[in-house]
Amino acid sequence: MIKINNLCKSFGKNHVLKGVDILIPEGNITAVLGPNGSGKTTILKILLGLVKPDKGNVFWKQRITHGDYSYRNKIGYLPQIARFPENLRVRELFSMIQDIRQQPSDLEPLLDAFKLRPLLNDRLRHLSGGTRQKINTVLTFMFDNDLFILDEPTAGLDPVAMIQLREIIARKQKEGKTILFTTHIMSLVQEMAQQIIFLLDGRIYFQGSVQELQKLHGEHNVERAIARILEVNEHEGVLDSVQPTASTL
Amino acid sequence: MIKTLKYSFYDLARSNWTYLYMLFYLLTALSLLFLSNDLSRVIVSLMNIIIVLTPLIGMMLGTMYYYNTRDFAELLLAQPIQRKSVFLGQYLGLSLSMTLSFLVGLGIPFIIYGVLVSSEVWNFSMLLLVGVLLTLVFAALAFLVAAMFENKIKGFGVAIVVWLSLAVVYDGLFLLAMMLFESYPLENAALGITLLNPIDLSRILIMLKLDISALLGYTGAVFNKFFGTSLGLLVSLGALSLWVLAPLGLFLRVVKHKDF
Ligand SMILES: Nc1ncnc2c1ncn2[C@@H]1O[C@H](COP(=O)(O)OP(=O)(O)OP(=O)(O)O)[C@@H](O)[C@H]1O
Ligand SMILES: [Mg+2]
């Protein structure tokens, strides 16, 4: 279980997270949603220790992650923006990360799934955006992690790769792994996520199952339900006056 | 750390900049050797080039490399390794590749010329040592500046200003101060100020080694008078080493508390 307590983070005057509490059960697929700039990436990066919180704690497997680095050997992270050393070849990038992690890896089936085998000897700087994203995906899933953190994993993927990605995620969940992802594609949420965390104005606006969200709004479509939240918010005007619980909706 | 170093180095070993840099020193050394038969004079000319250009190029390549690898560093930082290892590895990878370019570029022409069997071999070694130290100093300064400024334009601007201050403005201000405070005993102050400039230190280091008092300049002469030649060499070498460690330590500190 991942437990996040009272997380606060500001970048200068920009108060991105204003006290966020999250519980993520083991073995679940959780979607972190929210408008652009609402702090989704920031939360994921705090989990990884890339961003240091101003306040609050993250517990994973009953341990505080802050100040530690070894816990990351059980996490696969797919960053929102994929950039690699320009002059290395694809093959060398994989062996570099393997070399750094020193863990058993399962590269071959992933190379086939994303049809990357013909590109193994290409220079990373010549690759298209979607191909980079595929490589990013392979890097994330090639190790046997307990937790997968995916920041907009579908960005730039073609439909074939998208299907592969969904299958991989579903398979990992069956194996009992925990998956945490952000996306703006609601059909993906509806199809895959068991839990939704909706961030708005620095707080958790909604945390619960997809069904709960649908029931709350009398909408079967997650996209509509989310749009409803945002509309209500605009009517209320001052966001801070809204209680950050689902009950006020 | 060794692993990040290794792959940074591989990456840079295939960068055009690395070879351009090597070629530059190769051609410069070749033409100077071709134009003059006096080895010690060639060494002095090269010194004048090295103490200005090595810092400039170290500064530029350092900032560029940091910004270029910044996004990739994010992926490395998400691996089970310490921040310090990631960034120290990158710094050492860059320093190693620049150092090798420098050594090979200057080394080949001089070795062909026969410097190894000449009386100038130790002076030449000192030149190489100073060039390497300056590379380490300014790559560390560059990383520090780049880590402090998210904005690339600002970062490059500050890097240029740092280089200009140490390479050009410093001399002017120094002269001005000498003229203004002519009547005061300035020697100790001059000594202190010299320690604050790695470029001046490098110049003094080579001049002390070459034992050319005419080219020591004011600060060099003070240095020589105060410490004598051999102690002077040691002191300036020590100060230069501190100039590597201080910005590097600061850089690691900045990076430790940074958000990526
Ligand atoms: N390192 C940083 N320095 C300064 N501001 C930052 C930094 N990282 C994020 N921010 C700011 O924090 C806010 C939240 O950013 P974040 O990337 O977490 O949003 P997001 O929810 O992931 O958005 P998107 O849907 O566009 O990916 C933004 O306003 C962003 O500008
Ligand atoms: Mg984001």
pLDDT bin (cut points 50, 70, 90) of residue A240 is very low
| Residue B213 and residue B204 in contact, taking contact as beta carbons nearer than 8 Å | no
- Site from A10, A86, A100, A124 to mutate, B interface, most B CB atoms within 10 angstroms: A100
Nearest 5°: the CA angle B248, B252, B255 is 135
Question: What's the pLDDT score for residue B220?
Answer: 79
| Residue A88 and residue B11 in contact, taking contact as beta carbons nearer than 8 Å | yes
**What is the Å distance from ligand 2's center to B74 Cα?**
14
Question: What's the pLDDT score for residue A244?
Answer: 42
Question: What's the pLDDT score for residue A246?
Answer: 43
Put simply, the answer to whether B7 touches A72 (Cβ < 8 Å) is no
- The residue that leads in pLDDT, A116 or A236, is A116
**What is the Å distance from ligand 2's center to B55 Cα?**
38
CA atoms of B101 and B96, how far apart (whole Å): 9
DSSP-derived letter for residue B36 is -
A48 found inside a domain: yes
Question: What's the pLDDT score for residue B103?
Answer: 96
Rg, C-alpha atoms of chain A: 19
**Residues near ion ligand 2 (Cβ under 5 Å):** A 40-41, 80
CA atoms of B60 and B146, how far apart (whole Å): 10
Rg, C-alpha atoms of chain B: 19
Q: pLDDT tens digits for A193-219?
A: 999 999 988 999 889 888 887 777 777
Give the ipTM of the model, two decimals please.
0.84
A18 found inside a domain: yes
Q: pLDDT tens digits for A184-194?
A: 888 888 889 99
Question: What's the pLDDT score for residue A140?
Answer: 94
pLDDT tens over chain B, length 260 residues: 888 888 888 888 888 999 999 999 999 999 999 998 888 889 989 999 999 999 999 999 999 999 998 888 888 999 999 999 999 999 999 999 999 999 999 999 999 988 888 888 888 999 999 999 999 999 999 999 999 999 999 999 999 999 999 998 988 888 888 788 877 777 778 888 888 899 989 988 888 888 777 777 777 788 888 888 888 889 889 999 999 999 999 999 999 999 98
In the block, tokens 């200009």 appear at B164
Task: Count structural domains, chain A.
Answer: 1
The DSSP string of chain A is -EEEEEEEEEETTEEEEEEEEEEE-TT-EEEEE-STTSSHHHHHHHHHTSS--SEEEEEETTEE-TT--GGGGGEEEE-SS----TTSBHHHHHHHHHHHH-S-B--HHHHHHTT-GGGTTSBGGG--HHHHHHHHHHHHHSB--SEEEEESTTTT--HHHHHHHHHHHHHHHHTT-EEEEE-S-HHHHHHH-SEEEEEETTEEEEEEEHHHHHHHHT-S-HHHHHHHHHHHHHHH--GGGS-SSGGG-
| Residue A100 and residue A134 in contact, taking contact as beta carbons nearer than 8 Å | no
Q: Atom 18 of ligand 1 has which residue's CA nearest to it? A: A39
- Site from B74, B85, B254 to mutate, A interface, most A CB atoms within 10 angstroms: B74
A64 found inside a domain: yes
Half-sphere exposure of A159 (CA within 13 A, CB side): 0
CATH number at residue A217: 3.40.50.300
Question: What's the pLDDT score for residue B38?
Answer: 86
A249 found inside a domain: no
Q: pLDDT tens digits for A56-76?
A: 989 988 788 887 888 998 999
A58 found inside a domain: yes
A11 within ligand 1 shell (Cβ under 6 A): yes
Please tell me the pTM assigned to this model.
0.89
Q: pLDDT tens digits for A7-18?
A: 999 999 999 999
A114 found inside a domain: yes
Chain B residue with the nearest C-alpha to that of A149: B78
Question: Domain limits at A207?
Answer: 2-236
A243 found inside a domain: no
- Nearest CA to A3 out of A71, A70, A72, A65 is that of A65
Query: Whole-number mean pLDDT of chain A?
Result: 87
A135 found inside a domain: yes
- Identify which of A45, A71, A88 has the shortest CB distance to residue B11: A88
Q: What value does the mean pLDDT take over residues A77-96?
A: 89
Q: Decide if pLDDT at A117 tops 60.
A: yes
Cβ neighbours of A82 in B, within 8 Å:
71, 75
Question: What's the pLDDT score for residue A241?
Answer: 37
- Nearest CA to B58 out of B152, B167, B213, B218 is that of B167
| Residue B125 and residue B206 in contact, taking contact as beta carbons nearer than 8 Å | no
Put simply, the answer to whether B80 touches A72 (Cβ < 8 Å) is yes
Q: Would you give the distance in Å from CA A80 to the centre of its chain?
A: 9
Whole-angstrom CA distances from A69 to A63, A65, A66, B202 are 12, 8, 8, 40
Q: What value does the mean pLDDT take over residues A238-242?
A: 42
Put simply, the answer to whether B7 touches A83 (Cβ < 8 Å) is no
